[in-house]
A and B are shown apart, each in its own frame.
Chain A
Amino acid sequence: DTGVSQNPRHKITKRGQNVTFRCDPISEHNRLYWYRQTLGQGPEFLTYFQNEAQLEKSRLLSDRFSAERPKGSFSTLEIQRTEQGDSAMYLCASSLDGGRDTEAFFGQGTRLTVV
């Protein structure tokens, strides 16, 4: 499978625990994005990387959230001290930095439930 891969697909955690999600983008894509989607809403931008550099972070990304892309390939998103309001689908996308015709390709998402 050469698409965007996210693991795990589902995660149930107790409030206060830390969780980490992984995203493997399409191999030649140098841009990687994280979005969060709650029920009935469209995805909201969290952060993006160009190669290993994190270039933009949304105000939605509180201090409890951190994302890394250490070698410009896969990325991890960690949430510390999870809260019930963190329950959502976390989506990863990748694209090429190639001008106006660069589509974003999304993974299947990680569904987080905080109980």
Chain B
Amino acid sequence: KQEVTQIPAALSVPEGENLVLNCSFTDSAIYNLQWFRQDPGKGLTSLLLIQSSQREQTSGRLNASLDKSSGRSTLYIAASQPGDSATYLCAVETSSNTGKLIFGQGTTLQVKP
């Protein structure tokens, strides 16, 4: 059974700092991995999708990497800003290509001005 874990559960950093969020999964047979952002009481916004054959994806100040063999992904946020404060969720799609996502519990990030 696929399990997704995110560490740490919460993180507080000063503005301008670079930071890394971690995601691990137990079964390396994944179809793709997706990172989402969730603001309090809101839905999920897709940030980056990494296919299983890819090593990384970049969008602006965000860079996501994937090491399928070790069951790990990281989300790197450069030059953090207070507006980056949110919960970040990673999710894996299992190899069945149903599009069903299995989520971690999220990392809640606070960027202090």
Contacts and interface: CB of A to CB of B under 8 A. Distances in A.
Contacts of A79: none
Listed from nearest, the 4 A-B pairs whose CB atoms lie closest are: A42-B103, A106-B44, A108-B43, A106-B43
Given A104-B34, A106-B36, A45 B46 contact: no
Interface string B48-71: 010111000000000000000000
Interface string B61-90: 000000000000000000000000000010
Nearest to B42: A108
B105 A106 contact: no
Interface of B: 4, 31-32, 34, 36, 41-46, 49, 51-53, 89, 91, 97-106
Contact of B106 (A42, A44, A93, A103): A42
B43 A56 contact: no
Interface residues of A, number: 30
Contacts of A41: 105-106
